[in-house]
Amino acid sequence: MKENFINEIKINGKIYKFYDLKKVKNIETLPFSIRILLENVIRNYDGFLVNEEHLNTILNYNAKVLPDKEIPYMPVRILMQDFTGVPAIVDLASMRDACKKFNKNPEIINPAIPIDLVIDHSVTVEVFGTIYAFEKNVELEYKQNEERYKFLKWAQKAFKNFRVVPPGLGICHQVNLEYLSKVIWEKDKFLFPDTLLGTDSHTPMVNGLGVVGWGVGGIEAEAVMLGQPLYMRIPEVIGLKLIGELKEGSTATDLVLTIAEILRKYGVVDKFVEVFGPGLNNLTVPDRATISNMSPEFGCTITYFPIDEQTINYLKATGRDEELIKIVEKYSKENLLWRENEEKIIYTDIIELDLSKVEPSIAGPKRPHDRIPLKSIKEFFKFDESDNFSNEGGNVSIITKRKSSKIKYGSIEFELKDGYVVIAAITSCTNTSNPSVMIGAGLLAKKAVEYGLNRKPWVKTSLAPGSRVVTKYLEKSGLLPYLEALGFHVVGYGCTTCIGNSGSLPSAIANAIIENNLNVAAVLSGNRNFEARIHPLVKMNFLMSPILVVVYSIIGRIDIDILNEPIEYDNLGNPIYLKDIWPSQKEIAKKINEVLDPKDFIENYKNIFEGDERWKK
């Protein structure tokens, strides 16, 4: 049956085969994400695991009337991180032991499809505020995880179809975006879309590159790893129509927090969200990936951005092979996976968002979709602390009279109060994958330092990029020294504070919080802020752009009218406002054009699976 769909295409002088979606009736009305699922079912049809009923179910897709039937999804590959991935690989090793016990060759046990495991979940921010922070934290990481890492290194050599990205090299989703994802795969002269499952909930980040993929549990991943499909009901697809353009001062982070608020109110659990509309032309792949990354926080399975010119631009910018880039473009156009912005797609429902209405925001103190516009922060603390927090299952105390504690920290004495920021972390692939907000943070730091500003002594600062390319372009831009001057030294290349690996607070600060029951805050450029997730002593956690993380490290407290009040005073006592140090979009774009180089991506990833000397030993 599937032979009826086979066609040929010539690219770069080579003839490839592919399963032609143009042969499907009414294909132009199907969402792009459903087209990819359809191709997946056609290509993997075998009459057994993928049978005729499955094929007919998806061939008859109707966005308005979905069948109560399952279809099989057989991804091209699996992405793992070390926390959830290790148990799966242990099970493979156990199967080899069983083979040996029954006098069978243990080497017949291998993953049926390619697996990439990126070690990113184990590094903790114990050392910070020094150029030695990265080295010390990695050293501690190896010491605490020696047995796990020895096992993974053995597995890297023992199993076929299994690769490991060693510690200290990046976050799995950013490495996936910048290097691992091909968008279109080739095998046995057949071309087909890149698809995946991940053992981490933020796997949908790669949807921003035009790749369908999402996170699953370990058991589902193991079944797929051994060649079984993931059976799933055909999802509703909600169209998110974007119009307009982000205004000056608004970032991709502000946009994703706005979308989180909108989609949570709408209700998209177990649904696909597919983004379309003219506003897409104004969003780069890093902007899109920032949005897709937070699909779990939206509640949806994926937030899919179709392949288009921005996809090609990103593949070029990250140093992907020229032949691959031509394949991606020509195949996608030929097989109706390329966004033309003139589609006739029928969605289950449509939500519209005008990008020009997005305003600078943060989210918190304990849910990613609780967005607070910057202009309302002071009012929020004045009223909502008592009205909302205590009624939503949280343990944040009602602040009536502000509690405080006098602290001596080294040679410095200061007062720590309710609402003060004790952690400021530029962390997580959500934002560190996006040069616009990372360069923006560096430019703001430069202006702040030039005004003589510094972080408050009670703030634990850290910078944990999702890949080493980020550090490279921050160095080339000359902005890294300014971030370091404010305490944002590189502490590691892993998830760190975003997953709660924020490390210990200085004992003087920790003791003051405990003894006085202080309600202190953390600010981070991550994707989750559930109460006590970031640190057990920190009840209020706010998500924001890396630029704002730097700002709040300077202010040192959360309850300020950041748009109208001075954020600090210079050495002469003159007030300094946010607008004085905030970088313009033009400044950011100019700096990005100066420092981003595909050669840096190629250089960074050429030996990505080899690791440092510790790993090699």
DSSP-assigned letters across all residues of 239-266 = EEEEES-PPTT--HHHHHHHHHHHHHHH
pLDDT confidence bin for 384, thresholds 50/70/90: very low
Domain termination site, one of 314, 330, 357: 357
Per-residue tokens: 326: 């031509």
pLDDT over 80 (residue 397): no
Q: Note whether 568 and 492 are same-domain residues.
A: yes
Let me know: does 281 contact 246? Beta carbons within 8 Å. Answer: no
Residues 6+ apart with CB under 8 A from 306: 32, 210, 274, 275, 276, 337, 338, 339
Q: Note whether 432 and 330 are same-domain residues.
A: no
Most distant CA pair in the chain: distance in Å? 81
pLDDT over 80 (residue 395): no
Distance in angstroms (rounded) separating the CA atoms of residues 468 and 112: 31
Q: Does 574 reside within a domain?
A: yes
Rg (the chain; Cα; Å): 25
Q: Note whether 298 and 195 are same-domain residues.
A: yes
The Cα-based distances of 363 to 38, 166, 282, 380, 420 in angstroms read 37, 33, 24, 12, 16
Distance in angstroms (rounded) separating the CA atoms of residues 384 and 368: 16
Q: Note whether 116 and 215 are same-domain residues.
A: yes
Q: Note whether 412 and 342 are same-domain residues.
A: no
Average pLDDT over residues 496-523: 93
pLDDT, greater one: 299 or 394: 299
Q: What percent of the chain has pLDDT over 70?
A: 97
Per-residue tokens: 576: 């300094």
Q: What percent of the chain has pLDDT over 90?
A: 89
Q: Does 36 reside within a domain?
A: no
Let me know: does 260 contact 369? Beta carbons within 8 Å. Answer: yes
pLDDT confidence bin for 408, thresholds 50/70/90: confident
Q: Is 47 left (phi over 0), alpha (psi -120 to 50) or beta?
A: left
User: Whose CA is closest to 558, among 365, 335, 307, 276?
Assistant: 365
Residues 6+ apart with CB under 8 A from 429: 171, 172, 173, 174, 177, 202, 205, 293, 466, 495
Q: Note whether 514 and 578 are same-domain residues.
A: yes
Q: Which helix (H) or strand (E) holds 445?
A: helix 435-450
Residues 6+ apart with CB under 8 A from 466: 170, 171, 173, 174, 175, 428, 429, 432, 433, 493
Distance in angstroms (rounded) separating the CA atoms of residues 472 and 435: 11
pLDDT over 80 (residue 396): no
Domain termination site, one of 329, 357, 385: 357
Let me know: does 221 contact 117? Beta carbons within 8 Å. Answer: no
The Cα-based distances of 584 to 284, 488, 587 in angstroms read 17, 21, 5
Average pLDDT over residues 138-159: 96
pLDDT over 50 (residue 322): yes
- pLDDT for the residue numbered 382: 59
pLDDT confidence bin for 398, thresholds 50/70/90: very low
Q: Note whether 451 and 510 are same-domain residues.
A: yes
The CATH number for 427's domain is: 3.30.499.10
Domain that holds residue 494: 408-599
Q: Note whether 320 and 417 are same-domain residues.
A: no
Per-residue tokens: 595: 């420092």
Distance in angstroms (rounded) separating the CA atoms of residues 533 and 421: 15
Let me know: does 194 contact 328? Beta carbons within 8 Å. Answer: no
pLDDT over 90 (residue 387): no
Q: Does 251 reside within a domain?
A: yes
Q: Note whether 201 and 284 are same-domain residues.
A: yes
Let me know: does 287 contact 252? Beta carbons within 8 Å. Answer: yes
Q: Does 43 reside within a domain?
A: no
Q: Note whether 331 and 438 are same-domain residues.
A: no
Q: Note whether 328 and 466 are same-domain residues.
A: no
pLDDT over 90 (residue 389): no
Q: Does 50 reside within a domain?
A: no
Rank 208-212, 388-392, 560-564 by mean pLDDT and report only the highest.
Answer: 208-212
User: Whose CA is closest to 365, among 538, 541, 562, 543?
Assistant: 541
User: What sign does the dihedral 528-533-535-539 (CA atoms) show?
Assistant: positive
* Residue 552: φ, ψ to 5°: -70, -25
3-class SS of residue 136: helix
Q: Does 39 reside within a domain?
A: no
Distance between first and last Cα of the chain? 52
Structural domain total, the chain? 2
Q: Note whether 154 and 280 are same-domain residues.
A: yes
Range of weakest confidence among 10-19, 444-453, 494-503: 494-503
Q: Does 322 reside within a domain?
A: yes
Range of weakest confidence among 49-58, 383-392, 599-608: 383-392
Distance in angstroms (rounded) separating the CA atoms of residues 463 and 493: 9
- pLDDT for the residue numbered 558: 93
Q: How confident is the prediction for the chain on average, in pLDDT?
A: 94
Q: Does 386 reside within a domain?
A: no
Looking at the DSSP bridge assignments, the partners of residue 307 are 338
